[in-house]
Amino acid sequence: MQLLAIGECMIEMSGGQDGYWRMGFAGDTLNTLWYARAGLDPADGPVGYFTALGTDGFSDRIVAFLDGAGIATDAIRRIPDRRPGLYMIEQRDGDRAFTYWRDTSAARALADDEAALRTAMRNARMIYLSGITLAILPAEGRVRLLDALRTARQGRARIAFDPNIRPALWSDEAVMRDAITSAAAISDIALPSFDDEARWFGDADPAACARRYAAAGAGEVAVKDGAGPVTLLSEGGTTVMPVPPAAEVVDATGAGDSFNGGYLAARLNGVAPVEAARAGTAMAARVIAAHGAIIDLPETRIWHRDASKGGPR
């Protein structure tokens, strides 16, 4: 498997105008996997998603959606009496507002079965997770997940991690910082966002953020800074890459996730970090020019097994 993403796929309800809502499926790690496919070739192996879902009809729809998009679902855990998480996006005062229902989602149990977790990671060239993946798990689940990642890394897998800091998902800020640092310690690639990192870790600038992740153990760091430059730290040293102005900004949802997808696909293809960052910024520019976290891209259609089962939203 070229790339395995681990996290939570949620039901997304967007719109709300005149009382009508549009249903889709999204989640930060799924969004990144979705866009990574645009730079990957199915002939080089599958991509997959690992999570936990229920046995209800909406969980079935999520699996069909992923299957239709050419994303392997065979490792997904199905848990009776659990359901997918849900969130709604609406416009308030000219900006997007999110409301979540995920406290008892099936994905919170994705690391409960250690054997299933390790089986899912077997033979993956790269494994991607986020701080949200860590945040939704109970403490013992985080330990199991990190242990399984260490084992996978000792094999052939490279670990990629976006801290994606969401304090509302954590019961304790110190636990949050410790978990993120522990994940960075076993990551080959870290993809932090500077504004979040500065607030919760006190980094003075993106270069300081990159150095902190490298000191924690990450071998390669790409610090995103909104429309600002991407700061890269790798074996080649530190590079600050300006981001070309976006031609159009329609919806910033998924900007960071899509950058990650473009970046990781390029790295899997053997592209150097500087060129991978260019691929990431180009991907993000395309995504923010359209509505939604997941958009249709012509390059991903080669992955679709059966568009009638569930293609792009």
Cα 42 to Cα 47, 282, 307: the distances in Å are: 8, 21, 16
Cα 136 to Cα 73, 167, 168, 312: the distances in Å are: 20, 11, 10, 26
Q: Are 310 and 69 in contact (CB under 8 A)?
A: yes
Q: Of 240, 237, 234, 243, whose CA–CA distance to 280 is shortest?
A: 243
Distance CA 209, CA 70 (A): 35
Do the bridges between strand 237-241 and strand 230-234 make them parallel or antiparallel, or are there none, so unpaired? antiparallel
Cite the active site residues: 257
Q: Of 205, 235, 200, whose CA–CA distance to 223 is shortest?
A: 205
Distance CA 11, CA 66 (A): 13
